[in-house]
Amino acid sequence: MAQPESGNHFEHTLDADEFRRVAYLAVDLAAEHLFGIRRRPVFEPMTPNERVELLQEPMPTDGIAPDAILEHLRTRVMPHPMGNGHPRFFGWVNSPPAMLAVATEIIAAAMNPSCAGGDHAAIYLERCAVRWLMELVGYPTDGSMGILVSGASMATLTAFAAARHRAAIRRGWSVRDDGLQSGHPPLVIYMSSEGHGCFRKAAELLGLGAASIRTIPVDDAFHIDVAALARAIAEDRAAARQPFCVAVSAGTVNTGAIDPLDEVADLCAREDIWMHVDGAYGAVGVLDPATAPRFRGLARADSLALDPHKWLSVPVECGCVFVREGATLRQAFSLVPPYLRTDEGKGFGGLPWYSEYGFQQTRGFRALKLWVTLANAGRGGIASIVSRHIRLARRLALILEAAPDFELLAPIELSIVCFRYVPDAIRDDEKKLNDLNQRLIENVQASGGAFVSGTTLRSRTALRACVLHYATSEDDIGALVEIVRRASVALAASIAS
């Protein structure tokens, strides 16, 4: 970075004209990024030198002027995005940012509230945006509580903590008072082998231990096997353990499989077990009329995780957890220090603090970008994007299915397509197919023309394409197929030689 003359320093203020000038420059940089995206490769690895430069930049003693800082961002930082802004990026579950939310983020930063609680607009905007989200996916609002968090990992941790709290209370003890080390029968949690890794992380962090986490097998379409789940619960009961939570998925991260939610809800109701649904990616799939029936039972979940920073394109980070019994969530987390205590009916108006419903105290104004995105698209706008993405995924699947040297590895339930290349020469050699497809993923990524990620399904290496960009078109799907095909042919030739 350009060093200032010795003795220069800047504090945290700018005068009004200078603020406007600098902010407009930043807007120009953002616009250049957003609108120049199609002209750049989808992804370009950084050179070792570029990495080292960013890693080892020393902290300046004297401050650096705004223009030099913006220049540094323009030349050193902005040329190396993750790739998810590009309409031919199909990796993982990473969407592009909704443009209006990008433009208004400066307002959230300028207002800079802490949404721990209090009586200011950000709090009410969060209540409103979360209610909209509940209504969007058909989750009951009355008595429910929702809170914005970093993402579905934190949403899951929050939901499991509430589930653990309720399970103990129902059996006459308090996990907050006793912890998990006081000799109560062990609490057991259930998830399928396709459940997201954050289930396990959250369960471990909550002290359940690997011995209390059951992994239930899935059927041919990657749905949790409900009969096996029921058997596992019965076995644990017979051994005097306490089944307390079943975590299922409304759109798994691997294939977009939607577990049989209604059946699981029946089982959980019979067994008095908390049902958590991971709808981080897929919950909004319910807005596609043809897909909606698969989501039956979603509204019966005791808790639901939904990531607006996935399919809704709210800029990262924006996750959300809904809990059907809002009061239980509060009991699990509420701890009000004297300096925050407000007496109801005294002082300003105000709702119970968000810090009583989750682990965080100081919380950012995530609600602004969420509210802006939902308001701008409306229910109709969101539904049309979701339906379009599902349609594009089906189209991709049809093209691949029709090709003799490609094979789909999972049914298409939402906007994820898992497939692999199976050239005749090695069709019966799973090991060679896995190696080949792993190299194929890497070659497609390195091509800069499109980006897919990979996964493993029943020991098979799969290319995985998730359609999540508002600007992805049929042409982009066609281009993806072309790029994969070209890379496949090149690889097949290299095997043959």
Ligand X SMILES: *Cc1c(COP(=O)(O)O)cnc(C)c1O
- Interface residues toward ligand X, by CB under 6 A: 93, 151-153, 196, 198, 251-253, 278, 280-281, 307, 310, 319
For ligand X, the closer of residues 117 and 308 by Cβ is 308
CA distance 186 to 243: 8
Nearest approach, Cβ of residue 27 and ligand X (Å): 28
DSSP 8-class letter at 451: B
For ligand X, the closer of residues 152 and 188 by Cβ is 152
Where b means 16+ CB within 10 Å and e means fewer, 131-151 reads eebbebbebeeeebbbbbbbb
Query: 3-state class of 430 per DSSP?
Result: helix
For ligand X, the closer of residues 257 and 477 by Cβ is 257
Give the DSSP per-residue string, 209-255: -GGGEEEE-B-TTS-B-HHHHHHHHHHHHHTT-EEEEEEEEBS-TTT
Nearest approach, Cβ of residue 152 and ligand X (Å): 3
Q: Are 374 and 382 in contact (CB under 8 A)?
A: yes
How many CA within 13 A on the CB side of residue 48?
0
Identity of the residue numbered 419: F
Query: 3-state class of 470 per DSSP?
Result: coil
For ligand X, the closer of residues 92 and 421 by Cβ is 92
Nearest approach, Cβ of residue 150 and ligand X (Å): 6
Q: Are 248 and 196 in contact (CB under 8 A)?
A: no
Which residue reads 């997201």 in tokens? 196
What is the helix (H) or strand (E) element at residue 50, kind and residue range?
A: helix 48-56
Nearest approach, Cβ of residue 195 and ligand X (Å): 8
Distances (CA, A) of 170 to 174, 181, 209: 9, 18, 21
Nearest Cα neighbor of 419 from 390, 457, 370 is 457
Nearest approach, Cβ of residue 419 and ligand X (Å): 19
Nearest approach, Cβ of residue 316 and ligand X (Å): 8
For ligand X, the closer of residues 433 and 452 by Cβ is 452
For ligand X, the closer of residues 309 and 324 by Cβ is 309
Nearest approach, Cβ of residue 286 and ligand X (Å): 15
What is the helix (H) or strand (E) element at residue 421, kind and residue range?
A: strand 416-421
Query: 3-state class of 265 per DSSP?
Result: helix
Nearest approach, Cβ of residue 310 and ligand X (Å): 6
Give the DSSP per-residue string, 363-415: ---HHHHHHHHHHHHHHHHHHHHHHHHHHHHHHHHHHHHHSTTEEE-S--SSS
For ligand X, the closer of residues 259 and 263 by Cβ is 259
* Residue with nearest beta carbon to ligand X: 151
Nearest approach, Cβ of residue 277 and ligand X (Å): 10
Nearest Cα neighbor of 394 from 256, 492, 495 is 256
Nearest approach, Cβ of residue 3 and ligand X (Å): 38
For ligand X, the closer of residues 191 and 280 by Cβ is 280
Identity of the residue numbered 384: S
For ligand X, the closer of residues 152 and 465 by Cβ is 152
Nearest approach, Cβ of residue 123 and ligand X (Å): 23
**Rounded to 5°, angle at Cα 164 from 163 and 165:** 90
CA distance 229 to 283: 22
CA distance 452 to 220: 23
For ligand X, the closer of residues 152 and 392 by Cβ is 152
For ligand X, the closer of residues 113 and 195 by Cβ is 195
